[in-house]
Amino acid sequence: MPTTAPAFFDATASDSALRRFLFGLPGVDAVGLEARAASLGTRSIKTTAKAYAIDLAISMIDLTTLEGADTPGKVRALAAKAVNPDPTDRTTPRTAAVCVYPDMAATAAAALAGSGVKVASVATAFPAGRAALDVKLADVRDAVAAGADEIDMVIDRGAFLSGRFLKVYEEIVAVKAECGPARLKVIFETGELSTYDNIRRASWIGMLAGADFIKTSTGKVATNATPANTLLMLEAVRDFRAATGVQIGVKPAGGIRTTKDAVKFLVLVNETAGEDWLDPHWFRFGASSLLNDLLMQRQKLSTGRYSGPDYVTVD
């Protein structure tokens, strides 16, 4: 059973109960949400605060390779970059995790042993989520057995969009049970959910089912993380903790490429959920290309010179 407050147990007792709960959530004011996200995105920070923000953002990255052409050598190289992002400056923070397919989890675990960098693995028939439940659970078991510290699962968007909310909830509960000690990130693929109201409902399903993190996207569709959908999910975790005492993380993924982008998201976190979420344990970036820009901006702050992309490693 997921660890939520007793007050919410009735909401998941049946499909009709869950439907009543989800449709009883306040509707999202799309214009207001986007305006607030845009307004927060205009905030500027000074040099000292920018240096702190860059280091914090680096420490929050899930450095990711999720391609059919992935090899053990590529995963080991990515792990080395996660542990030591800038070989010219040993004060550079490590990234939070390296995220790979389940068959590469053992390679990543061996390469990261003792480093403090987590091994994250996508599972449950990523990215489409189109597989039988027993196949999805086997995927999770394999990843955890291979050394994954974190599992990034995808919800069944077909079930969600056709209104089978309890099926989505029960699948997350089953996956969470298979995770054992591994933390679970639940991916909604917000670009396929069509409306902000659906994103809010998916957020509450994930939280009620025991997710440790809620995550915007796979990075495999046209629309991924945006300030507005991330703001909405930050409001959800804030409200959930206020109601239950349970803190849940947020991970925007896909489309976050520059230091300026990262700072905007950190401002969203601070102004919406609060300082408690400004920690890699509670907020992550699923944005591998972001790391190189953060490193270049970090070098510019420390040396006064802009090195350019030729001075950082190519992932």
Active site residues: 152, 215, 251
Check if the beta carbon of residue 86 is closer than 8 Å to that of residue 298: yes
Check if the beta carbon of residue 140 is closer than 8 Å to that of residue 153: yes
Q: Which of 99, 97, 93 is nearest to 56 (CA)?
A: 93
Check if the beta carbon of residue 166 is closer than 8 Å to that of residue 12: yes
CA distance 289 to 25: 36
> Virtual CA dihedral for 8, 125, 225, 80, nearest 10 degrees?
110
CA distance 305 to 110: 36
Cis preceding-peptide flag for 85 (omega within 30 of 0): no
What are phi and psi for residue 184, nearest 5 degrees?
A: -110, 125
State the angle between helix axes of 259-272 and 288-303 in degrees (0 to 180), rounded to the nearest 10: 100
Burial class of residue 97 (count of CB atoms within 10 Å of its CB; 0-12, 13-18, 19+) = buried
Check if the beta carbon of residue 21 is closer than 8 Å to that of residue 7: no
User: Which strands form 118-123's sheet, in the order they lie side by side?
Assistant: 62-64, 97-100, 118-123, 150-154, 183-187, 213-215, 249-251
